[in-house]
Amino acid sequence: MSRIPITTEGRLHYLTATETVLSVFVCSTKMLCSWPEREHFYEQNEQQWRQCRAERKNQRSVYTKS
């Protein structure tokens, strides 16, 4: 499964294609079009994203690269 790098505050997050589509959809529905606003969105929801990614990692332990 392809992973797309997302940069937030100098840290590099790797999202799966599904997560990327979901995040873009959420950003577009919240009318967050510019990158600073998207980074702010990720910053606000980083804990939620991290928990979601942790749960996904538990489900498929094949993709455990941190």
Q: What is the pLDDT along the chain (66 residues), one digit of tens a residue?
A: 566 555 555 455 555 666 666 666 665 555 444 556 666 666 667 777 777 777 777 766 555 454
Question: Residue 23 burial by CB count (10 A; 0-12/13-18/19+): exposed, middle or buried?
Answer: buried
Answer whether residue 66 is part of any domain.
no
pTM over 0.75: no
pLDDT value of position 37: 61
Answer whether residue 37 is part of any domain.
yes
pLDDT value of position 59: 65
pLDDT value of position 44: 67
Residue 53's domain comprises: 3-61
Domain count, the chain: 1
Helix (H) or strand (E) holding 22: helix 17-29
Answer whether residue 53 is part of any domain.
yes
